């Protein structure tokens, strides 16, 4: 299902589309669906939905190993076993296939929680200053996710395969990339230990910061 807000949008007001990359098995989670894991009564998917609602941008979910149903448009990645590259490629092909293309595409890994709600609007603001360049989140000075790609980059993304996502393209000298500082502005969940730390962080009486950060 394609978000109708995009396909009907006039060219001057096209929104940025967010692709939530959620096709993986969650091997280090012992095969459990990360997005169904709950933190104080709320699933990670619900938390991400709430975060995205504050940003006000359309979003699609790239599913694979785990099939989900909720209020968001879902696209099934049949090649999910091959790795993250296939999900990135599918998101890019979806953007290219829309009758009226989005203004840009943001790739957002699904295991990010405690995402600073100001980060995505900041990516868009930096991109609008120079629309021909990609904008990535810097982790210790290196470009990573979330990352925003203008339409000129989508065909390169659509050719990705295998376990590596868009990071390799972001770090190629031939691709102009602007950076937004991401250190300390998000956390990811790769293991059950990470989940425990996040639950402790979000407990009402907890005052210690989470120690594991993305990248």
What domain count does the chain have? 1
- Domain of 74 in residue numbering reads as 4-184
CATH, residue 83: 3.90.550.10
> Whole-prediction pTM value?
0.80
Quickly list H helices, the chain: 4-7, 44-55, 84-97, 119-129, 154-158, 167-170, 192-202
User: Is residue 207 included in any domain, yes or no?
Assistant: no
Digitized pLDDT (tens) for each residue of the chain, 215 residues in all: 455 444 444 344 688 999 999 887 766 665 677 777 777 777 777 777 777 777 888 888 898 877 777 667 888 999 889 988 999 999 999 999 988 889 999 999 887 766 788 899 999 999 999 888 999 999 888 898 899 999 999 999 999 988 888 888 888 867 789 999 887 766 677 777 777 777 777 666 544 444 333 32
User: Is residue 12 included in any domain, yes or no?
Assistant: yes
With CA atoms as reference, report the closest residue to 170 among 130, 203, 209, 137.
Answer: 137
- 51 CB-side CA count, 13 A: 22
DSSP for 164-188? --THHHHTSTTS-EEEEE-TTS-EE
Q: Give the three-class secondary structure for 64.
A: coil
């Amino acid at each position: 299902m394609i978000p109708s807000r995009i396909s009907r949008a006039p060219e001057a007001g096209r929104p940025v589309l967010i692709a939530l990359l959620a096709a993986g098995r969650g091997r280090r989670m012992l095969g459990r669906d990360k997005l169904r894991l709950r933190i104080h009564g709320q699933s990670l998917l619900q938390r991400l939905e709430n975060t995205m609602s504050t940003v006000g941008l359309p979003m699609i979910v790239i599913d694979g190993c785990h099939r989900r149903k909720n209020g968001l448009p879902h696209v099934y990645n049949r090649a999910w076993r091959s790795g993250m590259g296939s999900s990135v490629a599918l998101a890019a092909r979806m953007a290219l296939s829309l009758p009226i293309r989005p203004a840009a595409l943001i790739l957002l890994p699904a295991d990010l929680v405690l995402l600073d709600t100001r980060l995505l609007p900041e990516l868009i603001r930096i991109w609008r200053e120079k629309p021909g360049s990609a904008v990535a989140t810097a982790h210790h000075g290196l470009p990573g996710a979330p990352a925003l790609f203008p339409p000129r980059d989508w065909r390169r993304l659509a050719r990705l395969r295998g376990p590596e996502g868009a990071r390799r393209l972001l770090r190629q000298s031939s691709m102009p990339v602007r950076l937004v500082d991401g250190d300390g502005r998000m956390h990811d969940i790769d293991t059950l230990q990470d989940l425990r730390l996040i639950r402790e962080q979000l407990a009402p009486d907890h005052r210690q910061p989470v120690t594991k950060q993305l990248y």
